[in-house]
Amino acid sequence: MTQKSVASSVYEWVDERLGLSELVAFARHKTVPVHSQTFWYYWGGISLFLFLVQCFTGVLLLVYYRPGAEAYESVRQITFVMHFGWLIRSAHSWSANLMIFSIMVHMFSVFFMKAYRKPREFGWLSGMALLGLASVFGFSGYLLPMDELSYFATKVGLQIPVAIPFVGAAIANMLRGGPEVSEFTVQRFFALHVVVLPALFLPLLGFHLWLVQRHGNAAPPSVEALPPEQRKSMPFMPNFLRKDLAMWLISLNILALLASVFPWTLGKPFDSLAPAPAGIHPEWYFMSPFEMLKLLGFVFSGKYAEFGEIAGILLFSLGIMLWVLIPFYDTRKPTGQRARATHYFGLLAIFALLATTILGYWTIR
């Protein structure tokens, strides 16, 4: 038998059992719309790539990381003793930040293209859940080195649920594993970070990706309004996939550059008696909510302070609810026009995020 016929008989054997040719036929017919906003279609793929980098570098860190009382010492060892440990840790931290950024870009592009409308409501909801999980990933992972900054960031972050009436303190103690951030906290954050969150994230991600295959990419309303013969598209295989992979390569290069030129630092070991270091602030993706809560604290000061905190959390939850539920009140218009009100809501959200983030960094100095 020639090489070719061996290969084809192996393929036939597998195909008979797994139905590969159905997948191939599906992939061959899959197309991606081409229009002026096609660039934004790549950001979901970029987020996926960075997530894969997270998994890969995370497993490598797991080889030497020890949670609990030895957490700081093991991260110090990874950073300064193990060959290239600094690079792997730096790549993990940088890709985490880049992933949150690219998920945000992906989310806003979906928002403004109105890609959450029927039949893609579940895509939007699962995406929001993934973003929520990604931020919990970020929050829990930030504590794991147990240096000064991560200690105080977690201390402050876990104070926020305390403002919830009646159950707030109990929730905070449950998350901390006691009244103070300690090695018990790092141990349970570790379990959360490497077992619980991945177990929730992976099936949800599979669902999200399956939905994209099922419904395809949404075109913006202005394109959808065009007659079918004026709409352009490209085949997914190989045209879009090739460009997608090129974006992955660009992402890898940017990540490698950032991780090696700006290695992630490790602060002093945490000391539960030491005062908070000057200029302490949350990670950039938590800066905006942090600053909003702080601003509300200014508005409701003095004897209204407690009310202000609860009002802040309520207002915040309301804003997030409005954002998450958008597919249910901004439904498809028969004329294909975009609803101005939700468009402005999106612009307002971007403005509020940027303004409070800038304000947050401004007031540190």
Q: Which candidate, 106, 96, 66, 103, places its Cα nearest to that of 82?
A: 66
Minimum separation from the CB atom of position 240 to other proteins (A): 19
Letters for 36-65 (x = contact with other proteins by CB under 8 A, - = none) are ------------------------x--x--
Stretch that binds other proteins, among 32-40, 78-86, 161-169, 267-275 (CB under 8 A): 78-86
Q: Which candidate, 31, 36, 32, places its Cα nearest to that of 222?
A: 36
Q: Which candidate, 53, 54, 106, places its Cα nearest to that of 249?
A: 53
Q: Which candidate, 282, 305, 310, 295, places its Cα nearest to that of 167?
A: 310
Candidates 87, 225, 311, 359; binder of other proteins (CB under 8 A) is 87
Stretch that binds other proteins, among 12-20, 85-93, 264-272, 346-354 (CB under 8 A): 85-93
Q: Is residue 323 within 8 Å of residue 349, measured between CB atoms? A: yes
Using rule CB under 8 A, residue 83 touches other proteins: yes
| Separation CA 351–CA 273 (nearest Å) | 39
Minimum separation from the CB atom of position 256 to other proteins (A): 8
Candidates 46, 48, 88, 125; binder of other proteins (CB under 8 A) is 88
| Separation CA 75–CA 34 (nearest Å) | 46
Helices (H), 113-240: 121-143, 148-157, 168-176, 183-191, 197-215, 221-224
Minimum separation from the CB atom of position 199 to other proteins (A): 25
Candidates 34, 40, 70, 82; binder of other proteins (CB under 8 A) is 82
Asked if omega into 203 is within 30° of 0 (cis), the reply is: no
| Separation CA 45–CA 85 (nearest Å) | 27
Minimum separation from the CB atom of position 243 to other proteins (A): 15
Stretch that binds other proteins, among 81-89, 314-322, 323-331, 346-354 (CB under 8 A): 81-89
Closer residue to other proteins in complex, CB, 21/253: 253
Q: Is residue 225 within 8 Å of residue 336, measured between CB atoms? A: yes
Q: Which two tokens stand for residue 89?
A: 């840790």
Minimum separation from the CB atom of position 66 to other proteins (A): 13
Letters for 224-263 (x = contact with other proteins by CB under 8 A, - = none) are ----------------------------x-----------
Minimum separation from the CB atom of position 82 to other proteins (A): 4
Q: Helix (H, G, I), strand (E, B), or coil: what is residue 33?
A: strand
Minimum separation from the CB atom of position 301 to other proteins (A): 51
Closer residue to other proteins in complex, CB, 83/365: 83
Amino acid (one-letter) located at 276: A
Which residues contact other proteins by CB under 8 A?
A: 60, 63, 81-85, 87-88, 252
